[in-house]
Amino acid sequence: MWIRPIAIASAAVVAIGAFAVLTASVPAPTLTGADRQPLRFGPSWLPDGLTELGREYGAPVRQWALEPFELSARWQTLDLRPPLNGLGSCPFQRDPVDINGRPGWFREGSSAQDLRGVCWQFDRHTYLQLDTTLPTLTRKDLIRIARSVRPAAGTFSFPISVPPDALRPFGLDTDPGLKRITGRSSTDWTASGYWSPGSRYKPRPVLKITVGPATEAPDGGQPRTVRGRPARYVLDYDSPAGNSSYLVIDLGARHYLTIQADTDPPSEVAFFDLAAVAERTTVDLSRQRWIGARDLTG
C-alpha cells in the first residue's frame, strides 16, 4: 500500500494524506452546500431549564432537554420535526387544537413513558410535530411551544466529510442516510453519520463514522497506526448489529474517530479497507455553539 508523506498545512491543522483534523482554534473551513443544513423552524418560547442538545440533518430534527443532560438510550427530550410518516400530514388527528389559526391535534400518552405532543399545519406546505417524554411539560406548555414556532433563517454544518469516491468501493450511497450531533456543551459533542448500501448493490457493509470524546468500539483489539496516529482495529462478533469491524483513531485532545462497518451476512471488513476511508475523512472539531444554548431560532 502506497503511503503518501505527511503534510502539515498550518500550525493548527494536522493533515495526514487527505485525513485532516481542524482544531477549535482555527476558523471552520468553507463547507459545500451539501454540508450545510437550514434550520427552517424553531420555537420562540420554551420553559426555563430547557436547552438544545441535539440536531439531525435532513428534515431537520431539533432536540431540547433539561439540564443536567443524561445522554443515554432513555434520555428524555423535547423533539421538533416534520412528521415521520412520510405522508405530509399528521399521524394522529383525534384531539383537535388551534395553532395560530391552523389545524392541529394533541396526543396524550397512555403512560408517563409514552410520547405526548402536538402535530399541526405550520404553513401551506409543511406539517410539524412536537413530541416529548418529559413529564414536567404539560398540555398547556406543549401547545404554547407549538404556537411559538417561527421560521428560522440560520444554518448549521455537519463536522464529518467523506468524498464520494472513498465510499464507492463499498457500494455505499454517497450521502449518509442519517447525520446527527448530540452533546453536553459546545466542546463536548459527538457527531455520527450512517452510510447504507445503494439498492443496486448486493449486501454490503453499513458504515458508521463517528467523532467524539468516546467510542462505541469494545476495548482491546489490535494496535495499529494510521498516518502516524495511534489506532486500534477491533472485531466484534457479538455486536448489536451481528458482526462489526471497528477502526478507532486517537485524534488527540480527547477526540476519537471511529470507522465502524456492520455486515450482513456476517463477515470481516479488513483494517486496510477501514483505514482507506479514515484517510479520506475530514473532521472539523470547531465548537458547536448552539449546544446548551437558549438561542431558540438559531
CATH number (domain holding residue 198): 2.60.120
Do 88 and 47 share a domain, yes or no?
yes
Residue 2 lies in a domain: no
Over range 290-297, report the average pLDDT: 76
- Residues 179, 134: one domain? no
As a whole number, the mean pLDDT across the chain is 80
Residues 134 and 245 in one domain: no
CA atoms of 162 and 164, how far apart (whole Å): 6
Local structure of residue 274 (DSSP, 8 states): H
**One domain, residues 210 and 270:** yes
What are 260-287's pLDDT values in tens digits? 999 877 788 999 999 999 999 999 998 8
More confident residue, 33 or 145: 145
The answer to the question of residue 293 being in a domain is no
Lowest mean pLDDT among 23-27, 42-46, 102-106, 288-292: 23-27
Structural domain harbouring 185:
7-30+162-284
The pLDDT > 90 percentage for the chain reads 45
pLDDT beyond 50 at 142: yes
The whole-model pTM stands at: 0.82
- Same domain as 45, residue 26: no
CB-side exposure of 241: number of CA atoms within 13 Å?
Answer: 21
Same domain? For 130 and 172 the reply is: no
Answer yes or no: do 45 and 96 share one domain. Answer: yes
Query: pLDDT by residue (tens digit) across 61-75?
Result: 999 988 756 655 456
pLDDT, position 293 = 83
| Residue-level pLDDT at 30 | 35
Residues 166 and 280 reside in one and the same domain:
yes
Lowest mean pLDDT among 86-90, 94-98, 274-278: 86-90
Residue 297 lies in a domain: no
Statement to judge: residues 178 and 151 lie in one domain: no
> Residues in the chain, how many?
298
In a domain, 276, yes or no: yes
Range 5-13 average pLDDT: 27
Res 24: pLDDT = 33
Residue after which a domain boundary falls, among 155, 187, 220: 155
pLDDT of res. 261 = 93
pLDDT of residue 295: 64
pLDDT in tens, 15-59: 334 444 433 332 333 333 446 788 889 999 999 989 899 999 877
With a cut of 50, say whether residue 131 has pLDDT above it.
Answer: yes
- The reply to whether 25 and 47 lie within a common domain is no
pLDDT tens by residue, 183-238: 988 999 999 999 887 655 556 788 999 999 999 999 999 999 999 999 999 999 88
- Are 247 and 134 in the same domain? no
Point out the domain boundary residue: 119, 140, 155. 155
Domain count, the chain: 2
In a domain, 142, yes or no: yes
Domain termination site, one of 101, 124, 155: 155
pLDDT score for 145: 96
Is residue 242 in a domain?
Answer: yes
Tell me the CATH number at 126: 3.30.200
The gap from C-alpha 74 to its chain's centroid, in whole angstroms, comes to 17
Predicted confidence band of residue 155 (pLDDT cuts 50, 70, 90): confident
Domain identity same for 139 and 191: no
Judge residue 167's burial from the number of C-beta atoms within 10 Å of its C-beta, 0-12 exposed, 13-18 middle, 19 or more buried. Answer: buried
Neighbours of 62 (CB within 10 A): 24
- The DSSP code sequence of the chain is ---PPPEEEETTEEEETTEEEE-TTSPPPPPPGGGEEEEEEEES---TTEEEEEEETTTTEEEEEESSP--STT---EEEES-TTSSSS-S--SEEEEETTEEEEEE--SSTTS-EEEEEEEETTEEEEEEE--TT--HHHHHHHHHHEEEEEEEEE-SEE--GGGTGGGTB-SS-SEEEEEESSSSSEEEEEEE-B-TTSPS-PEEEEEEESS-SSPS--EEEEETTEEEEEEEETTSTTSSEEEEEEEEETTEEEEEEEE-SS--PPPHHHHHHHHTT-EEE----TTTT---TT-
Report the C-alpha gap between 233 and 256 in whole angstroms. Answer: 13
- Whether 202 is in a domain gets the answer yes
Residue 292 lies in a domain: no
